Amino acid sequence: MEQISEDQIRNWLSADRELIVYEEIDSTNNAAKQWAQKGAPDGSAVVALRQTAGKGRLGRSFYSPSATGIYMTVILRPSLSLEQSTLVTSAAAVATARAIEKVTGISVQIKWVNDLYLNGKKLCGILAESALLPDGKLNYLVVGIGVNVSTDSFPPELSEIATSLAAAGGEEINCNRLIAAILNEFRQVCAELENREYLEEYKLRSCVLGKSVQLIRGKESQEAFALDVDRDAHLVVRLPNGSIQTIRSGEISLKGDWR
């Protein structure tokens, strides 16, 4: 994997932005939150060659070995309500999918709500965290994006469910260009948050819609059939009893088809 550097990333950016690149850090999300609290402007980004405590959803960790992946976080200060801020995660998924396809030619799918999949395995994870003002309004969001680029060995618990871009074959990937492309695409998709235009692409890239899934809530799970993604990026499902339900949060896994 090509060495990541601030100068090389800037060569591919479509617009200037504040950017910090670390050799090693506990979590790019943590660093971004600290920077945001100090007044970092909208669109600022933190990149690391390695994370020692990368964050995943639901308190999980994100496997972040040195120089085999892209680990980055974008700081956003959108004029959105707290409820609307959930759109940012789906926007990041679309932006990252677009960037990967433009730079590598590899088409990836989106698993609701925030994972990118390649050949049925997880390629990229996205984690958004928010901070509120004293009046309850949104102060800022940090959106962490982790892409497995050349990782060829995963821990046993991930070996059957995770993959990397290198596993898809092709030429060596220019990571500086890919990081810049993600930032460029994210800027463009964020301009579509209010009108939700990007959600059509989100649905086209979905590996969930039209399939049976397991809804997972804590230790409980329930069968459902994924029907649609609504205007707020919530998942609309049909339950076995025929009722329609909108899922606003939680986790799903794909399972055998049933209708």
Q: 236: number of CA atoms within 13 Å, CB side?
A: 9
Average pLDDT, the chain: 88
User: Residue 139's pLDDT is what?
Assistant: 92
What is the DSSP track for 37-59? HTTPPTT-EEEES-BSS-B-GGG
CATH 3.40.605.10 fits 6-204, yes or no: no
**Range(s) for CATH 2.30.30.100 in the chain?**
212-254
Q: Is the pLDDT of residue 158 over 80?
A: no
Residue-wise pLDDT tens digits, 107-156:
999 999 889 999 999 999 999 999 998 988 889 999 999 999 976 666 55
pLDDT band at residue 257 under the 50/70/90 scheme: very low
Q: Where are the alpha helices (DSSP H) in 38-162?
A: 87-104
The predicted model scores a pTM of 0.90
Classified by CATH at the fold level, domain 212-254 comes out as SH3 type barrels. (2.30.30)
State the span(s) of the chain assigned CATH 3.30.930.10. Answer: 6-204
Residue range 183-232, pLDDT digits in tens: 999 999 998 888 999 999 999 999 999 999 999 877 888 999 999 999 99
Structural contact between residues 175 and 2, judged by C-beta atoms closer than 8 angstroms: yes
Instruction: Give me the sign of the Cα torsion angle 259, 211, 223, 199.
Output: negative
CB atoms within 10 A of CB 257: 9
Tokens at residue 25, please? 């850090």
pLDDT band for position 259 (50/70/90)? very low
pLDDT value at residue 111: 95
pLDDT, one tens digit per residue, over 159-189 is: 677 888 988 776 788 999 999 999 999 999 9
Given a cut of 90, whether residue 79 has pLDDT beyond it is no
Beta-carbon contacts of 127 under 8 Å, excluding residues fewer than 6 positions away, are 29, 55, 56, 57, 62, 114, 143, 144
